[in-house]
Amino acid sequence: MNGSVTIVEELQNRFGAANVSEQATCDEFPTVWVPQNRAHEVLRYLKTEVNRPYGMLYDLSAIDERLRANRPDQPESDFTLVYHLLSFQRNEDLRVKVGLKGEFPSFPTITNIWPSANWYEREVWDMFGITFDDHPHLRRILLPPTWKGHALRKEHPARATEMGPFQLPEDKQEREQEALRFRPEDWGLKPTTGDTDFMFLNLGPQHPGAHGAIRFMLELDGEEIVNVVPEIGFHHRGAEKMAERQTWHTYIPYTDRIDYLGGVMNNLPYVLAVEKLAGIEVPDRVKVIRVMMVEFFRLASHLVWYGTFAQDVGALSPVFYTFNDRERVFDIVQAITGGRMHPSWFRIGGVAHDLPKGWDTLVKDFVRYLPRRLKEYDKMVLRNRIFKARTQGIGTLTVEEAIDWGMTGPGLRSCGLEWDFRKKRPYSGYDQFDFDIPTGQHGDCYDRALVRVEEMRQSLRIIEQCLQQMPPGPYKADHPLAVPPRKERTMHDIETLITHFLGVSWGPVIPAGEAFVGIEATKGNNGYYLVSDGSIHSYRTRIRTPSFAHVQMVPLLSCGLMVPDLLAILGAVDFVLADVDR
Partner 1 sequence: MNEIIRSLIIVVGVLVVMLSISAGLIWLERRMLGLWQDRYGPNRAGPFGLMQVMADMIKILFKEDWIPPFADRPVFVIAPAVVVVTTLMSFAVIPFAPSIGVVNLNIGLLFFLGMAALGVYSVVLGGWSSGSKYSLLGGLRATAQMLSYEVFMGLSLMGVVILAGSFNLGDIVEAQRKMWFCIPQFIGLVIFIIAGFAETHRLPFDLPEAESELVAGYHSEYSGMKFGMFFVGEYLGITLISAMIVTLFFGGWLGPVLPPLVWFLLKTLVFVLGFILARASLPRPRYDQLMSYAWKVLLPLSLLNLVVTGGIVLAVG
Which residues contact partner 1 by CB under 8 A? 199, 201-202, 207-209, 223, 310-317, 320-321, 324, 380-381, 384, 386-387, 389-390, 562-565, 567
Length of the chain equals 582
| Euclidean distance between CA atoms 225 and 219, whole angstroms | 6
| Alpha-carbon torsion angle 485, 487, 250, 300, nearest 10 | 100
CA 98, 104, 105: angle at the middle one, nearest 5?
A: 30
Residue 222 Cβ vs partner 1, minimum distance, rounded to whole Å: 8
**For residues 186 and 376, which CB has a smaller minimum distance to partner 1 in the complex?**
376
**Strand 215-221 relative to strand 224-231, pairing:** antiparallel
Q: Which amino acid belongs to residue 444? A: D
Of the pair 148, 379, the CB lying nearest partner 1 is at 379
The distance of closest approach from Cβ of residue 334 to partner 1 in the complex, given in angstroms and rounded to an integer, is 20
DSSP letters for 225-274:
EEEEEEE--TT---HHHHTTTSBTTTTHHHHHTTSTTTTHHHHHHHHHHH
- As a whole number of angstroms, the distance between CA 449 and CA 525 comes to 18
Cβ-based nearer residue to partner 1, 136 or 184? 184
β-pairing, 21-23 vs 31-33, is antiparallel
The distance of closest approach from Cβ of residue 202 to partner 1 in the complex, given in angstroms and rounded to an integer, is 8
Instruction: Tell me whether residue 179 or residue 389 sits nearer to partner 1 (CB atom).
Output: 389
Count other C-beta atoms under 10 Å from residue 202's C-beta: 14
Between 313 and 348, whose beta carbon lies closer to partner 1? 313
**Which alpha helices (H) appear in 313-431, and where do they start and end?**
318-337, 359-377, 385-391, 399-404, 410-414, 421-424
Helix/strand/coil for 63: strand
State the minimum distance, in angstroms, from the CB of residue 472 to partner 1: 39
CB of 574 to partner 1, least distance (A): 15
Toward partner 1, which CB reaches closer, 202 or 250?
202
The enclosing H or E element of 541 equals: strand 538-544
- The least CB distance from residue 261 to partner 1, in Å, is 19
Name the minimum Å distance from CB 314 to partner 1: 3
Closer to partner 1 at the Cβ: 72 or 208?
208
Of 315 and 362, nearer to partner 1 (C-beta) is 315
Q: How far is the CB of 441 from partner 1 (least distance, A)?
A: 23
